[in-house]
């Protein structure tokens, strides 16, 4: 199936959810008017990323966010699915989550919520102090095919995209917010690292990856941007500018997944040995 994805790269107004949702709703409507089918927003794009102790006050339930989006979007004759990052209200500490909604003639419908699995606690990050980690894979069957979900740090651990690909996901959506660091030539080092990770995953498993990044300054840190779509061949098919807001539309053709796998048998080898690999993994005793 061929469709058009829109990557929403914005600088959220920190803590001002109503204003951010107004802008997000406008971007979803723009995606529909330009013929787009699926919009992906960045990590915590609803509220801003670096909230620390303020995250509990600004966290929302999935139903609350759906209601707020419904008031802004109503219904449409051009269906658009969309995924947004937000802090999810929960008993104890909030989750760093991304939801997936369908917007069609009957309104806005929440289909699933994925909760960030790996919470970084190094360098400028202290997420585990203010949030709780998820405990499940993010997988959803959509009108485009089976989609997987990851949030920022999750993609740095290659085991998660490998599990999603093995579970049948032909497209992985990544919501991210990454402070710029170590400028090298024309791009910050972390953008180069993301390019390397996403292209390696795409090429190994012959899948699409789409990543939406935040921009702007929060807590004295500049969020880098550079949102991208990577093809099953490992080629970066489209990439947004660094540090600038942008709505980037790009084509995706899911048939390219099978064509790439016919050319490169790596994924079939992995799938064939998956049960054996899980057995090997169960015998590993991780070092303390």
Question: What CATH number did the domain enclosing 53 receive?
Answer: 3.60.110.10
Task: Please report whether residue 288 resides in a domain.
Answer: no
Task: Please report whether residue 186 resides in a domain.
Answer: yes
What local confidence, expressed as pLDDT, does residue 51 receive? 79
State both tokens at 186: 């024309």
What local confidence, expressed as pLDDT, does residue 222 receive? 79
What local confidence, expressed as pLDDT, does residue 220 receive? 67
What local confidence, expressed as pLDDT, does residue 218 receive? 73
Task: Please report whether residue 287 resides in a domain.
Answer: no
- Residue range 221-264, pLDDT digits in tens: 778 899 999 999 999 999 999 999 999 999 999 999 999 999 99
Task: Please report whether residue 205 resides in a domain.
Answer: yes
Task: Please report whether residue 286 resides in a domain.
Answer: no
pLDDT digit of tens for each residue in the chain (288 aa)? 999 999 999 999 999 999 999 999 999 999 999 999 999 999 999 999 887 778 899 999 999 999 999 999 999 999 999 999 999 999 999 999 999 999 999 999 999 999 999 998 876 667 878 899 999 999 999 999 999 999 999 999 999 999 999 999 999 999 999 887 766 567 788 899 999 999 999 999 999 999 999 999 876 677 889 999 999 999 999 999 999 999 999 999 999 999 999 999 899 999 999 999 999 999 999 877
Cβ-based neighbour number of residue 26 at 10 Å: 13
Task: Please report whether residue 80 resides in a domain.
Answer: yes
Query: How do 171-176 and 145-151 pair as beta strands?
Result: parallel
Domain count along the chain? 1
Task: Please report whether residue 18 resides in a domain.
Answer: yes
Task: Please report whether residue 103 resides in a domain.
Answer: yes
**Closest CA relative to residue 198, chosen from 165, 245, 231, 244:** 231
What local confidence, expressed as pLDDT, does residue 184 receive? 59
- Residue range 103-139, pLDDT digits in tens: 999 999 999 999 999 998 876 667 878 899 999 999 9
Counting Cβ atoms within 10 Å, is residue 246 exposed (0-12), middle (13-18) or buried (19+)? middle
Yes or no: say if 20 and 12 are a contact pair by the CB < 8 Å rule: yes
Which one-letter DSSP state was computed for residue 94?
P
Q: Which residue segment(s) compose the domain that 95 sits in?
A: 2-281
């Amino acid at each position: 199936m061929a469709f058009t994805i829109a990557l929403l790269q914005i600088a959220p107004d920190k803590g001002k959810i109503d204003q951010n949702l107004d802008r997000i709703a406008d971007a979803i409507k723009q995606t529909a008017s330009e013929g787009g089918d699926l919009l992906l927003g960045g990590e915590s794009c609803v509220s801003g990323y670096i909230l620390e102790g303020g995250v509990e006050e600004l966290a929302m339930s999935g139903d609350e966010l759906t209601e707020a989006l419904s008031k802004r979007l109503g219904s449409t004759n051009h269906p658009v699915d969309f995924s947004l990052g937000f802090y999810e209200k929960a008993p104890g500490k909030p989750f760093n989550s991304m939801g997936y909604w369908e917007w069609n003639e009957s309104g806005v419908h929440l289909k699933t919520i994925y909760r960030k699995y790996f919470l970084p606690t190094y360098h400028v990050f202290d997420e585990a102090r203010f949030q709780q980690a998820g405990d499940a894979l993010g997988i959803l069957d959509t009108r485009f095919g089976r989609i997987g979900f990851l949030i920022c740090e999750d993609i740095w651990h290659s085991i998660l995209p490998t599990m999603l690909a093995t579970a049948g996901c032909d497209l992985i959506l990544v919501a991210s917010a990454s402070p710029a660091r170590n400028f090298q030539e024309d791009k910050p080092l972390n953008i180069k690292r993301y390019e390397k990770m996403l292209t390696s995953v795409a090429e190994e498993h012959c899948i699409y990856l789409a990543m939406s990044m935040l921009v702007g300054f929060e807590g004295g840190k500049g969020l880098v941007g550079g949102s991208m779509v990577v093809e099953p061949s490992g080629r970066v098919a489209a990439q947004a500018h660094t540090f600038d807001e942008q709505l980037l539309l790009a084509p995706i053709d899911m048939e390219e997944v099978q064509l790439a796998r016919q050319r490169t048998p790596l994924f079939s080898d992995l799938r064939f040995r998956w049960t054996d690999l899980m057995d090997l993994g169960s015998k590993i005793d991780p070092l303390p």
